Amino acid sequence: MIREKELHPPSGITVLVFLVPATLGSLAMLLLAATTGQVVLIVVCALVTALLGLLFAGLFVVNPNEAKVLQLFGHYAGSAREPGLRWANPFYTKRKVSLRVVSFESGKLKVNDLDGNPVEIAAIVVWNVIDSAQAAFQVDDYAEYVRVQSEAALRGLASRYPYDVHDEEKTSLRGSTALVAEQLQKEVEERVEAAGVEVLEARISHLAYAPEIAHAMLQRQQAAAIIAARTRIVEGAVGMVEMALDRLLRSGTVHLDEERKAAMVSNLLVVLCADRSTQPVINAGTLY
């Protein structure tokens, strides 16, 4: 695998200080030789001028957050990262690779979650190139490669988790956004490592049931939420009844037989578990 090798080409300003006067002097000598008709001097001056013109081809500009990948007849020579006007071998081919941070949003993908329900999902991925040689030589188009691999990672992630669960300890696409985003970033990083790319952030930007089942799944979700809420209410009500009976027994405030305990438990559960306000009935007579 080709790894980046950083080059430090000389400043182009220094080279220009030499090339500009030398070229002007060579042109002046060429004109003088042409005027005097000295053939040998004309040939020499023409060759020198052509050589100086070739040296000008070695000048190139490196912009901030950019790298120039240098090749000599198919051989990787190195990458120049220092911004400014630089000079290198005129026969080098110079390919620009951007090191800037790139953010893109994938299209809305339709995939099946862990429960087999079709969902629409999209993600935002933020990345940048950290190895210009890998980006230039390991893949054909590193930007397209990152996009395709990000969508593939998103599809795989969505199929391993359910859209939603009512158990807080279980992971879901909707309820565990931070964990899902962390897992997505890790998977995308593993897939684009060959392109010399670092993933800075990956998160889900769109998540919904597919339109054809959205209404049915909303009803199912509401029913599941009601059941989960009722389960929690009953658990709490039973705990409160147990606490009340235990407190009455320990304080000795009132002694109840099993039948009265059962009646009290029934009344308390009705009051605590009812979905609307209850109307109390006050017993003004004796306990029995």
Q: What is the spatial distance between Cα 70 and Cα 38, in angstroms, rounded to a whole number?
A: 41
Higher pLDDT, 35 or 270: 35
Rounded Cα gap, residues 88 and 254, in angstroms: 99
Q: What is the pLDDT of residues 178-205, one digit of tens each?
A: 898 999 999 999 999 989 999 999 999 8
127-151 pLDDT per residue, tens: 999 999 999 998 889 999 999 999 9
**Tens-digit pLDDT profile for residues 68-101:** 999 998 899 999 999 999 999 999 999 999 999 9
Query: Which residues are within 8 A (CB) of 287 and not within 5 positions of it... i.e. 6 or more apart?
Result: 254, 260
Amino acid identity at 22? A
pTM recorded for the entire structure = 0.68
Q: What pLDDT is recorded for position 86?
A: 92
Top-tier CATH class for 102-209: alpha beta
* DSSP-derived pairing of the beta strands 75-80 and 6-7: parallel
Tokens 């911004």 sit on residue: 83
